Amino acid sequence: MPASGPIKRSITIQGHATSLTLEASFWTALAEAAAAEGRSLAGLVAEIDEARTTNLSSAVRVWLFERALRREEERPPAAGP
């Protein structure tokens, strides 16, 4: 299956509209992360926006990657053979 290209969406954070461009898999992961934390998508993106030092799309990708790493570290080790 070919990878989908970037999807641009408008999102309102802290009272202003901004565009965010992410691949479909990142949009899915972002929505899942917001739901898992009981937060709105806009609220989660606003938090990422406040802490970022690069463009917003890159900051979201890095945040999702670091979240995945943390979750992997918290997972109990697999049982051996």
- H or E segment at 53? none
d(CA 45, CA 19): 11
- H or E segment at 39? none
pTM over cut 0.85: no
Please name each of the domains of the chain with its CATH number.
Answer: 6-74 (1.10.3990.20)
d(CA 60, CA 16): 18
Q: Tell me the per-residue pLDDT of 6-36, one tens digit each, with 9 for 90 and over.
A: 999 999 998 999 999 999 999 999 999 999 9
d(CA 15, CA 73): 36
